[in-house]
Amino acid sequence: MQFFLIRHPRPLIEAGICYGQMDVDTAEAGRAATRLRSLLPTSTPLISSPLLRARRLAELLHPQPIYDERLREIDFGDWEGRRWSEIERASIDAWAANVLHFAPSAGESAAQLQVRAVACAAEQEGAAVVLVTHSGVLRALLGHWLQLPVNEWSGLPFTFGRLTRVDVDASGATLRYMNG
């Protein structure tokens, strides 16, 4: 199956704020949609995170996008809306020491994010699907498909409003291009 993975456009939020599942808008959806349309196969189902920054783009790319809660960004719990510089150093250090399993208070871990994202992708049928979502979700999916250790997949660079294609079949996954 071909997965066309798209990170939402740049959100309208001040740099340095932890925004995970905050419903932040974007002003760049039109520009991103114009560039992406020619890169996507026609009549391909599109599934999107329901968060506004992804939803805006999904609605411009497809006449009937499907929204799936499992494609939301990681839930940073009590960190949401706070400046990264204001989050307790001990919490940041605990996260860095256990990226896969640490969860901020009232939030979720990267492992939990990966389980829900992979479950969503595994349910897709057909030759191709477009997923409009967030960098955390995209990292978790590629990490799973490419069998990367968490220290590699947690830092994969996904550019706002850009496309990554990966082909997945019973024998494994092949990354075709990233940030196109």
* pLDDT (tens digit per residue) in 17-35: 999 999 999 999 999 999 9
Q: Give the chain's mean pLDDT.
A: 97
128-133 and 46-48 strand pairing: parallel
The C-alpha R_g of the chain, in whole angstroms, comes to: 16
Type of residue found at 62: H
- Mention every residue, 6+ apart, whose C-beta is less than 8 A from residue 26: 8, 9, 10, 11, 12, 52, 53, 56, 57
For residues 101-121, give the mean pLDDT: 98
Residue among 116, 104, 176, 179 at smallest CA distance from 144: 116
Which pLDDT score, from 0 to 100, does residue 27 have? Answer: 94
Contact by Cβ (8 Å): 9, 32: yes
Q: What is the pTM of this model?
A: 0.97
Give pLDDT, residue 84.
98
Would the pLDDT of 180 be above 90?
no
Please state, in angstroms and rounded to a whole number, the distance separating the CA atoms of residues 38 and 36: 6
Kind of pairing between the strands at 128-133 and 2-7: parallel
